[in-house]
Structure 1
Amino acid sequence: MEILWLGLAYVLGMVVKQLKLPPLIGYLVAGVILSAFGVSDENGLLHTIGHYGVIFLLFTVGLHLRIKNIVRPEVFGAGTIHLVISAGIFLVIAMAFGFSAIEGLIIGILLGFSSTVLAAKTLEARSELNAFHARVSIGILIVQDLVAITVLALTGGGIPSVWSFGLLLLPLLRPLLFKLLTSSGHEDLQLLYGLLLAMGGAALFEVLGLSSELGALVAGALLSGTHESDELSEKLWGLKEAFLVGFFLEVGLAGLPNMNELLFAGALFAVLPIKAVLFFFLLILFKLRSRNSFMVTLTLTSFSEFTLIAGMVAASSGFIPESTIIVFALLIAVSYTVNAPLSAKSNSLWKRFEHKLIPLERNVKHPGQQVVSLGGAEYLVVGMGQAGSSAYDYLKERDYRVTGMDSDPAQIEYNLGKKRRVVYGDAQDAELWENIDLSSVKAIMLAMPYADTKIQATKMLRENKFTEDIYALTMRDEEHQALKEAGANAVCLPLIQAGRKLAEISISDEVDGSMSLNFEMNSFE
């Protein structure tokens, strides 16, 4: 039976993926099909797998919890106001369909959330995780996740033990937990430690009469804010996704909605465009530029997997009818189907509507506002990681006027600490290249990690009449042609050039221990 579950989930997930949609839609459909043929989770295996998937998901959310990212006005303010207004609208609709005020309030709050998984995957696919609008999106999602955890804690049932007050002392364990994390290295022991902490935190809270999901989140938060926690989160990503397949299959096994539930789902889905418009104007109110507001809006216009997770807990405790979960699953699947293709085309959609949306932004200094002057720099290095900072230092040591640019605040802060002149700029933002003064710049070096970002930045530079040299660093030979067509003058492929240089050294009669590898740029004719 397990092979049947996995096989159908894989096939339908693959079909949905070919349609450029999130595979979890396929998993939900697989569950519905299995339900239609009378298949059920008799031994509770799917429930157990899905539960651990939720535990690992919340643990990774805790690992990314940054207080400074959610206390910003545009994040906490816009996110909170949006959730309150959305919940109020959904409450009215739910009560119109016969739900009580308490049931409607829970349903309204849960439907106010946006999808963390879809947003993270979409931003990663567009290579925009470090952009300002991405940080605002993730910050709002964390605010929503914290509310979801509160709902989980309040609807989980049971009375907390008097010993639960001892959990307030958990932050005192942070130094020890962090030391164990660093001592675990970077391989399988690190992953095992993460699983132990996630499941241990969940079990501890459950024993004390609190939500196991809340325990997993707190366990992750105890390690947040470090490079090692980010590395652990990346290791857990695939495992968490695999276990969540069980969760979505279990939801699908609930079957199809009846006519009344379909009407309820249709009325709720009609609010999604209102959620989008509300997001945009709230962010404008909190001084964001129109483009950033538009990008955040596209990223967050969906219903959330947390709606299902918290909804199932609330339903199992009797706070909302179990039939509501079928409605939630349908709403999430349809919203993902609508959002995924729109988010993939976000930049082209912005270009289409920017002339109408830019006049709506406020005439104030905007959060995340980008530089317009490089102070007479002759060279601009975009992407101040290891390669970019090395290029910067090389030019600086030879007394050239050089400026670095990055979209990651942590990277900017690090480079400023090294006495490098680095400014904030999102290379994928067309408005940056439209407004910035490049009149004194002789060459631009693109050292960002993602190929699509380099190609898009090159195109926008050429579209804005930058005629000087553009050099790009890439790791794959197949990106040559795309960069050439975009307008790059030359490309450096360090791995290929390093291999050739090693071969040259190996057959040379003049080899000594101090010989270094010198790379050359491949220029386009």
Structure 2
Amino acid sequence: MPHDVDLIILLAVGFGLALIFGYIAARLRLPPLIGYLIAGIIISPNTPGIVGDIHLANQLAELGVMFLMFGVGMHFSLNDLMQVRRIAVPGAILQIAVATLLGMGMTMLWGWSFGSALVFGLSLSCASTVVLLKALGDRGLLDSVNGKIAVGWLLVEDLVMVLVLVLLPATAILLGGQPISQESANDNIWLTLGITLLKVAGFIAFMLIIGKRLVPMIIQFVARLGSRELFTLTVVAAAISIAYGSYAIFGVSMALGAFFAGMVVKESAFSHRAEEETLPLREIFAILFFVSVGMLFDPRILIEQPGHILAVVAIIMIGKTIAAMALVLFFRYPINTALTVGASLAQIGEFSFILATLGVSLQLLTLDAQNLILAGALISITLNSFVFSAIEPIQKWIRARSYLARLLERKSDPLAMLPDEVSQDYLRDQIVIVGYGEVGRRITQTLQEQNIKVVIAEENREIVENLRAKGVAAVSGSATEPSVLIQAHIMHARLLVISPMDLVKIHQVVNIAKQLNPMLEVLLCAENGEEARALREDDIGTVYFAKEEMAKNMSAHILEQIQLAHQHGHHA
């Protein structure tokens, strides 16, 4: 067979097998990327049968990493992170530290060097954003407070890992590895590190000052031409050229370049379109990345070192999870937030692979170490969906044992009680608003302008702290818990307004509220027409639904205009 078709063979076989195993994984309710990894294992040189070209696979993996990071950059939202920063930033940093120390402690017991142990520990500390977004999306938790905290937590982890990827090549010699380029070997290590940090700072400044204005301008310019393929090409060219430019000019890793490319594309007015148009390409390269990672894996390790693999999986799924849950409870969030964040982190993924590959190329990790990381990722991602399914039963089990629930959910929480300054006569005929989202915020503003008394019940503690700082009466917690509505003095309230939320939860909140105050009037916001119909059939309150209200207002305006025109006509 001629040598020139290696790439085509690799793509044909790789995609074909990825499709088959991805389908099987999806049917088994697992993330399809497990299927892609298995497809890679089958065509790897380490297993009998078809062999793909590993050098080609590595280059494709680089492209895959670039597109993955571009995607992470496009999802990266500073606003989302700011909403949950008080818990996500310290939580993620402490949890990375705990997981890294666990990994290092274990591998140093096995007699590894400090440098190897450090890279290995870091590889185990960061969860996969791809796996998490899918797990939360499947369960409809992406917009929930718990989902936002989990995603914010992972964004912080991603940022820390991006920093590690930048610093690792510069510090490789310090850690006992080999630098990739020979000329940096003779220099002073601190000088190298300083120069690296300066280059990174230069690159970030360049992207934030020039890139942030230039890229969206170019995208807008091309979008006006109305050609779809030119638009897609612009976005892809921006991603790849910024990634390569960052590497060629600033010596920054291509992954970091692609991450910032995603961030600046997100700034443009066409970011949604850019995301949609490049999605197929990003997904294709992400699949290639997982296939090529599978090609690096040697399944023999499963038989040769089962004990080591068990230890690695225990750190990923038990050590990390317990550390994260303890931190969430320490920040006084409820038990179900702790369980959701814990489950979100009980896996490792793309950053671990990128770090492992970098570690091997710097001679800080052996191939065995890389195989252990890959095995840990395969097993933890496979089991992750079961961990998510266990959240509800575990919560019920804890709640059934009141001493445990009391131990874990501390009730002496200042935010769960209204401050003493809120007088008793304020808490008569007030309006209780559940959820301070877009709708809750606008209603609150209007009512406050009219000096109408409002109490807000909201799950996100940071929002509650901000409201209190502005002097708004607010309690933290889920309104499905009677204690939260009791704190909001629902007994004496005139009205209950419920922001869009899960139908089951709406029923729970209304039931509790009506038990405490049978005469209460309830207003409900529905997300869509189906919900509005369902809620009206149940007849638990007055239902509002955005598009319907908009149509009513516009119709009223049109009729008013027509009447005015008629009146003018008569006068004429």
Distance 2:386 2:537 in 1: 28
Task: Give the corresponding residue for 1:240.
Answer: 282
Please tell me whether the aligned partners of residues 476 and 484 of structure 2 are also in contact (alpha carbons under 8 angstroms). Answer: yes
Match of residue 311, structure 2, among 262, 267, 273 = 267
Please tell me whether the aligned partners of residues 353 and 373 of structure 2 are also in contact (alpha carbons under 8 angstroms). Answer: yes
Q: Does 1:167 align with 2:229?
A: no
Please tell me whether the aligned partners of residues 50 and 245 of structure 1 are also in contact (alpha carbons under 8 angstroms). Answer: no
Q: 1:496 to 1:225 in 2, by over 3 A?
A: closer
SS of equivalent to 1:75: helix
- Measured after TM superposition, the shift of residue 115 of structure 1 is 2.3
Q: 1:495 to 1:311 in 2, by over 3 A?
A: same
Distance 2:535 2:497 in 1: 16
Distance 1:100 1:303 in 2: 23
Q: Match of 1:246, as an amino acid? A: L
Match of residue 137, structure 1, among 127, 132, 150 = 150
Q: Match of 1:173, as an amino acid? A: I
Please tell me whether the aligned partners of residues 291 and 358 of structure 1 are also in contact (alpha carbons under 8 angstroms). Answer: no
Q: Does 1:177 align with 2:214?
A: yes
Equivalent positions of 1:34-433 (< 5 A) are 34-35=43-44, 36=47, 38-42=49-53, 46-63=57-74, 64=76, 66=78, 69=82, 72=85, 74-155=87-168, 157-158=180-181, 159=184, 164=199, 166-167=202-203, 169-170=205-206, 171-174=208-211, 176-177=213-214, 179-180=216-217, 183=220, 192-208=233-249, 209-222=251-264, 239-253=281-295, 254-258=297-301, 259-271=303-315, 272-344=317-389, 346-354=391-399, 355=402, 356-361=404-409, 365=413, 375-376=427-428, 379-380=431-432, 382=434, 430=481, 432=484
Q: 1:479 to 1:255 in 2, by over 3 A?
A: farther
Q: 1:216 to 1:360 in 2, by over 3 A?
A: same
Distance 1:230 1:411 in 2: 27
Q: Match of 1:20, as an amino acid? A: R
Structure 2: runs of 5 or more not aligned: 1-8, 170-179, 185-191, 564-572
- Structure having the larger proportion of residues in helix: 2
Distance 1:248 1:359 in 2: 42
Task: Give the corresponding residue for 2:507.
Answer: 458
Q: Match of 1:471, as an amino acid? A: L
- Measured after TM superposition, the shift of residue 58 of structure 1 is 1.9
Match of residue 439, structure 1, among 484, 491, 498 = 491
TM-score, length basis structure 1? 0.76
SS of equivalent to 1:477: helix
Please tell me whether the aligned partners of residues 336 and 391 of structure 2 are also in contact (alpha carbons under 8 angstroms). Answer: no
- Measured after TM superposition, the shift of residue 307 of structure 1 is 0.6
Taking only the aligned residue pairs, the percentage that are identical comes to 20
Q: Match of 1:103, as an amino acid? A: S
Q: Match of 1:110, as an amino acid? A: S
Q: 1:93 to 1:391 in 2, by over 3 A?
A: closer
- Measured after TM superposition, the shift of residue 225 of structure 1 is 7.6
Structure 1 window deviating more from structure 2 (221-230 vs 192-201): it is 221-230
Q: Match of 1:41, as an amino acid? A: G
Distance 1:180 1:59 in 2: 19
Distance 1:194 1:358 in 2: 52
Match of residue 18, structure 1, among 5, 23, 27 = 27
Distance 1:135 1:114 in 2: 15
- Measured after TM superposition, the shift of residue 4 of structure 1 is 3.9
Q: Match of 1:172, as an amino acid? A: I
- Measured after TM superposition, the shift of residue 213 of structure 1 is 0.9
Structure 1 window deviating more from structure 2 (158-167 vs 57-66): it is 158-167
Please tell me whether the aligned partners of residues 455 and 488 of structure 2 are also in contact (alpha carbons under 8 angstroms). Answer: no
Distance 2:406 2:273 in 1: 38
Distance 1:410 1:179 in 2: 32
Distance 1:231 1:406 in 2: 33
Q: 1:474 to 1:87 in 2, by over 3 A?
A: closer
Q: 1:239 to 1:146 in 2, by over 3 A?
A: same
Distance 2:473 2:279 in 1: 32
Distance 2:477 2:72 in 1: 25
Q: Match of 1:12, as an amino acid? A: F
Distance 1:490 1:167 in 2: 54
Distance 1:490 1:70 in 2: 31
Distance 1:72 1:195 in 2: 31
Q: Match of 1:8, as an amino acid? A: L
Q: Match of 2:407, as an amino acid? A: P
**Which protein is bigger by CA-based radius of gyration?**
2
TM-score, length basis structure 2? 0.71
Distance 1:242 1:491 in 2: 43
SS of equivalent to 1:74: helix
Q: 1:29 to 1:435 in 2, by over 3 A?
A: farther
Q: 1:12 to 1:147 in 2, by over 3 A?
A: same
Q: 1:496 to 1:314 in 2, by over 3 A?
A: same
Q: 1:321 to 1:442 in 2, by over 3 A?
A: same
Please tell me whether the aligned partners of residues 416 and 484 of structure 2 are also in contact (alpha carbons under 8 angstroms). Answer: no
